[in-house]
Amino acid sequence: MKQRFLHSIAKDDALRLWLAAFSGREAATEVLPVSRTLERITATPVVARESSPHYAASAMDGIAVEAKDTIGAAPGRPCRLELQSNCFAVDTGDPMPPGTDAVIMIENVVLVGTSCDIEQGVAPWQNVRPVGEDIIAGEILLPRYHCLSPVDLGALLAAGVHSIAVLAKPRVTIIPTGDELVLPGTPLQRGDIVEFNSAIIAAEISLWGGEPLVYAPVPDDAGVLQRVVEQAIRASDMVLIIAGSSTGRGDYTADVVEQVGEILVHGVAMRPGKPVMLAKAGLVPVVGLPGYPVSAHHCLETFVKPLLYAFNHRPLPKTEMVDGLLTRRLVSPFGVEEFVRVAVGQVEGQVVVTPLARGAGIVSSLMRSDGTVIVPQSAEGFAEGASVRVHLRKPLAEISGSLVCIGSHDLVLDVLADYMRLRYDLCLQASHVGSMGGLLSLKRKFAHLCTTHLLDEETGEYNTAFIKRMFPGEDMVAINLVERWQGFMCRVGTGVKSWQDLRAVRFINRQRGSGTRVLLDYHLHKYGLESSAINGYLREETTHLAVACAVANGSAEVGLGILSAANAFGLDFVPICLEQFDIVMRRATLHDPRIQALLSIIRSAEFASRVGELGGYATNKSGEVVWTGNA
């Protein structure tokens, strides 16, 4: 186990050093037919070969004449010209007949047999498009390093230019490393890791104007890796090595790169992506990316994207920014610049920003992120409610149109969101923090609506008591989404039938504040069971599916949840009760046309039918206002 010291420098310093190392680079070029140059970059100024129009052309439908023949013509004193002799009918775009130099609008000509009476003289070149009116042969049409748009292609063809020199796309070779990697589609064994990093990286490279080439995964063998890297350097404009840049067992990347080039930076004071390695082999940049997908992606955006844009002589596209309110505290270590992926919503004009899971291995957090909040090196985070700046990944316009729903988790919400897209092209952004979290988010106006199924121990009623307590004096409304069966989700054959049976098995719990946890505690109390008697009471998951997944994988034997989640993992399901799963919002929100769309879906037969297919639901009360009033 070789320990390598990672010297951390600030990200901005690393980037400056990195870009400067390749600033003098000479770009390769290639000559392509114009039809294949869309969004490519010109390598030289482009000169027009032909003028357009390439002949003097009539600019309108009319009669072509020699202007001097019309001198003196006036209303009542026309001059008469003979068709096909000294005047000629022409349409727009027709070449001027020999000897003519002007066109008279057809409306101003009186036809008399084969003669034309003209009552208004015309100046030479009037109503004629001269040669080169649009483009003149020899003029510079496009400058060097210009990104070709559709109209550019048309103008080039109009100017008789059929092929041009463009910058060759920088060839970026991507080398995944690690014995544990298997290609997507391989039947998975325990310990296999699907090699999906290269798919992300290759796609980004191509969007950024590079030409990606992905190698097969290289095993953890320094000799093999060195041969592969040497080969890649010879054939590429940039080489990216995935994983092995850290300091663990089998992290050979730095050793190998030291053999073939010069390491400029190893370790940057940022998170994710700290162990990134930036090197130079001859004129070829070589990057050691961390193996975790979130880290790899962040390093890619930070160091590879700007270099690719520089290679293509293109300015980096500006990131859209927005300031928003942080919905929860964000803690970050001092001395490290941290990039936190966030979800962004807009509720009543206020932009709300919620940090997503920060694990470097959580690729779904990348997928779900609307943008990034940067915690500077000198800060230890931000307080809840602080105003933070978000670097957006999607246009704000797309985000601000979404209806934000926070609260309890149910698969029915996916059905609802899908109908919102399908029928109204609307986006329902649902996030799952449990029933209590949902009500709190609604209270703070972080959401338009929340989902909740909180059983009141005293009244045995759902939700009402909680709403009254949390929204005193506010005008609220609760609408039933569905009723659903809660029950024990067990591995087949576990034999849990009653609450008492829970003492004999490994349990997995839901998080505090979730309706399902409230339901559990209600029943434990009712049946006189101590939580300490339940093995696994302290082990929490945040969704029905996560609990079902843990049970299916054998790390627990039973959990409390809904039938559809149990079905998704082929688990036994022992029903306990049919509970009320409601949507809560301020009454004023009902006027939002998006809410009207939502309600019309909830009340539709096709919604009931699709929910019915999931199993474990009743939709008799769906869309019914179950409670309303000045809370």
The whole-angstrom separation of Cα 83 and Cα 110 is 12
Of the candidate spans 440-448, 516-524, 565-573, 589-597, the one that interacts with a copy of itself by CB under 8 A turns out to be 565-573
> Considering only CA atoms, which of 299, 307, 300 is closest in space to residue 268?
299
Please compute, for residue 519, the number of CA atoms within 13 A of its CA located in the half-sphere on the CB side.
28
Considering only 3, 26, 77, 425, the residue that binds a copy of itself (CB under 8 A) is 425
Rank residues 222 and 362 by Cβ distance to a copy of itself and give the closer one. 362
Nearest distance from C-beta of residue 230 to a copy of itself, angstroms? 27
Q: How many CB atoms lie within 10 A of CB 123?
A: 11
Q: Is position 34 an interface residue for a copy of itself (rule: CB under 8 A)?
A: yes
Binding of a copy of itself by 312 (CB under 8 A): no
**Omega before 98 cis (within 30°)?**
no
Give the binding range for a copy of itself (CB under 8 A) out of 381-389, 442-450, 545-553, 596-604.
545-553
Q: What is d(CA 605, CA 359) in angstroms, rounded to the nearest whole number?
A: 41
DSSP collapsed to 3 states, 468-525: HHHCCCCEEEEEEEEEEEEEEEECCCCCCCCHHHHHHCEEEEECCCCHHHHHHHHHHH
Tell me which of 24, 72, 113, 317 binds a copy of itself, using CB under 8 A. 317
| Cβ nearer to a copy of itself, comparing 250 with 267 | 250
Residue carrying the six token digits 């010297």: 7
Instruction: Give 73-112 as a DSSP string.
Output: -BTTB-EEEEBTTTEEEE-TTPBPPTT--EEEEGGGEEEE
| Residues of span 449-468 touching a copy of itself by CB under 8 A | none
Q: Helix (H, G, I), strand (E, B), or coil: what is residue 248?
A: coil
Residue 422 in the binding site for a copy of itself (CB under 8 A): yes
- How many residues at the interface with a copy of itself, by CB under 8 A? 108
Q: Which of 219, 282, 359, 385 binds a copy of itself (CB under 8 A)?
A: 359
The residue among 325 and 344 lying less far from a copy of itself, judged by its C-beta, is 344
- Least Å distance between CB 564 and a copy of itself? 9
Number of helices (H), then strands (E), in the chain: 17, 38
Q: Is 26 in the site for a copy of itself (CB under 8 A)?
A: no
Quote the crossing angle between the two packed helices 593-602 and 411-424, to the nearest 10°: 120
Nearer to a copy of itself, 262 or 398 (CB): 398
Q: Is 397 in the site for a copy of itself (CB under 8 A)?
A: yes
Q: How far is the CB of 45 from a copy of itself (least distance, A)?
A: 5
Residue 134 in contact with a copy of itself, rule: CB under 8 A: yes
Among 124, 335, 376, 612, the residue binding a copy of itself under the rule CB under 8 A is 124
Quote the CA–CA distance of 328 and 595 in Å, as a whole number: 26
Q: What is the DSSP code (8-state) at residue 414?
A: H
Residues 73-92 that bind a copy of itself (CB under 8 A): 91-92
Sequence-distant (≥ 6) Cβ neighbours of residue 258 within 8 angstroms: none
Q: How far is the CB of 287 from a copy of itself (least distance, A)?
A: 17
Q: What is the dihedral of CA 508, 512, 515, 516, to 10 degrees?
A: 10
Q: Which is nearer to a copy of itself, 216 or 588 (CB)?
A: 216
Does residue number 615 form part of the binding site for a copy of itself (CB under 8 A)?
A: no
CA 45 to CA 146: how far, in whole Å?
A: 9
- Residues between 3 and 22 that touch a copy of itself (CB under 8 A): none
Tell me if 592 contacts a copy of itself by CB under 8 A: no
Smallest distance from a copy of itself to CB 619, Å:
20
CB count in 10 Å sphere of residue 486? 25
- Taking CB under 8 A as the criterion, the residue among 9, 29, 145, 221 binding a copy of itself is 145
Q: Among residues 4, 95, 165, 590, which is the contact residue for a copy of itself, using CB under 8 A?
A: 95
Candidate list 546, 558, 602, 631; residue touching a copy of itself; CB under 8 A: 546
Nearer to a copy of itself, 13 or 418 (CB): 418
Binding mask 171-210 for a copy of itself (x = CB under 8 A): ---------x---xx--x-xxxxx-xx-xxxxxx-xx---
Q: Are strands 337-347 and 270-271 parallel, antiparallel or unpaired?
A: parallel
What is the Cα–Cα distance from 36 to 313, expressed in whole angstroms?
A: 20
Which of 11, 40, 129, 298 is in the footprint of a copy of itself by CB under 8 A? Answer: 129
Cβ-based nearer residue to a copy of itself, 120 or 535 = 535
The 3 state secondary structure assigned to 53-77 is CCCCEECCCEEEECHHHHCCCECCE
* 418 makes contact with a copy of itself (CB under 8 A): yes
CB of 65 to a copy of itself, least distance (A): 15
- CA-wise closest residue to 390 among 326, 341, 322, 446: 322
Cβ atoms within 10 Å of 181's Cβ, excluding its own: 23
Q: Does 55 bind a copy of itself (CB under 8 A)?
A: yes
Please, which contacts does 138-143 make with residues 24 or more away whose CB atoms are closer than 8 Å?
138/47, 138/48, 139/47, 139/48, 140/45, 140/46, 140/47, 140/48, 141/46, 141/47, 141/48, 142/42, 142/45, 142/46, 143/42, 143/45
Among 144, 468, 523, 587, binds a copy of itself (CB under 8 A): 144
Choice between 34 and 404, CB closer to a copy of itself: 34
Q: Answer yes or no whether residue 610 interacts with a copy of itself by CB under 8 A.
A: no
Considering only residues 250 through 279, tell me which ones interact with a copy of itself, judged by CB under 8 A: 250
Phi/psi of residue 145, nearest 5 degrees: 60, 35
Binding range to a copy of itself, per CB under 8 A, among 229-237, 547-555, 573-581, 588-596: 547-555
Cα 619 to chain centroid, rounded = 34
The yes or no reply on residue 50 touching a copy of itself (CB under 8 A) is yes
